[in-house]
A and B are shown apart, each in its own frame.
Chain A
Amino acid sequence: DQQVKQNSPSLSVQEGRISILNCDYTNSMFDYFLWYKKYPAEGPTFLISISSIKDKNEDGRFTVFLNKSAKHLSLHIVPSQPGDSAVYFCAASVRYGGSQGNLIFGKGTKLSVKP
């Protein structure tokens, strides 16, 4: 049972345009969400996070939106750059319970930004 789903395995975007990566979750107990970027032969790199008490968080070119009623979050990258080409993972965690703090990951979306 996949609790965090990234339904698009890949996404191709032109340089300078907006990249929108989507993520859906099923567990209503999730209250902290993160996006990671991963280059080949490297570990995931933390990009941005959002708490369930917010619906938007910005950091430079990266903005994460959270829609709790739809159990959906998205990562917007504006403007997209060729260096953004990587696999992006959505992750979530719960605040309470035996698995508190541990991250549940989606399977990733491979973003390609074309010059």
Chain B
Amino acid sequence: DSGVTQTPKHLITATGQRVTLRCSPRSGDLSVYWYQQSLDQGLQFLIQYYNGEERAKGNILERFSAQQFPDLHSELNLSSLELGDSALYFCASSTGTGIGQPQHFGDGTRLSIL
């Protein structure tokens, strides 16, 4: 058990809809990261938050947004969903900014777009 909690585990929805994925980091961790794993791709970095502030952006679509709340949990919002958004979405956390530190991953949310 990594200590990182993601909900829900599975999500099935239709094209054009909007969903919210939730992540609770390990106790004491200040950074939260979101990654996407598609069928033919490795883990792709989306976005990082550190202590409530956006710290780095990766290959995140404009239809996607995230935030980190004062209690340090984070939410990833995906809107105007397309079939290609079907993927595993992982959240990870680290103690500090992540430089030279391992990230610890949750078990992911599997998003299926019908």
Give residues 62-100 of A contacting B (CB, 8 Å). 89, 91, 93, 95, 98-100
A46–B101 Cα distance when bound, in Å, is 11
What residue of chain B has the Cβ atom nearest to residue A4's Cβ?
A: B42
Once A45-B2, A45-B105 are accepted as A-B contacts, the answer to whether A101 and B98 lie under 8 Å apart by CB is: yes
In the complex, what distance in Å separates the CA atom of A36 from the CA atom of B90?
A: 14
Cβ contacts under 8 Å, A106 to chain B: 42
In the complex, chain A residues 8-59 whose Cβ is within 8 Å of any chain B Cβ? 31-32, 34, 36, 41-46, 49, 51
Interface size on A, residues (CB 8 A): 27
Chain A CB within 8 A of B94 CB:
yes
Q: Which residues of B contact A108 (CB under 8 A)?
A: 42
- Cross-chain contact of B56 among A46, A95, A102, A105 (Cβ < 8 A): A102
Interface residues on chain B, number (Cβ under 8 Å)? 30
Complex Cα distance A31/B99, Å? 10
User: In the bound complex, do residue A100 and residue B2 qualify as a contact, i.e. CB atoms below 8 Å apart?
Assistant: no
Partner of B103 from the list A46, A98, A99, A100 (CB cut-off 8 Å) is A46
Is A113 an interface position by the 8 A CB rule? Answer: no
CB-CB under 8 A for A101 and B101, given A43-B2, A89-B43: yes
The answer to the question of B68 belonging to the interface, with a C-beta cut-off of 8 Å to chain A, is: no
Q: Which residue of B lies closest to A91 (CB)?
A: B43
B85 interfacial by beta-carbon distance below 8 Å: no
B43 adjacent to A49 (CB under 8 Å)? no
Q: Inside 8 A of A41's CB, which chain B residues have their CB?
A: 107
* Interface presence of B102 (CB below 8 A): yes
Are the C-beta atoms of A43 and B48 separated by less than 8 Å?
no
Residues of B within 8 A of A105 (CB): 35, 42-44
A62 vs chain B, min Cβ distance (A): 13
B43 and chain A: residue at smallest CB distance: A105
Check A32 against B103 for contact (C-beta < 8 Å): no
A103 / chain B contacts, CB cutoff of 8 Å: 33, 35, 43, 45, 103
User: Apart from A32-B100, A100-B56, what 16 extra A-B contacts exist at CB < 8 Å?
Assistant: A31-B100, A34-B102, A43-B107, A44-B90, A46-B102, A99-B56, A100-B97, A101-B31, A101-B100, A102-B33, A102-B56, A103-B45, A104-B45, A105-B44, A106-B42, A108-B42
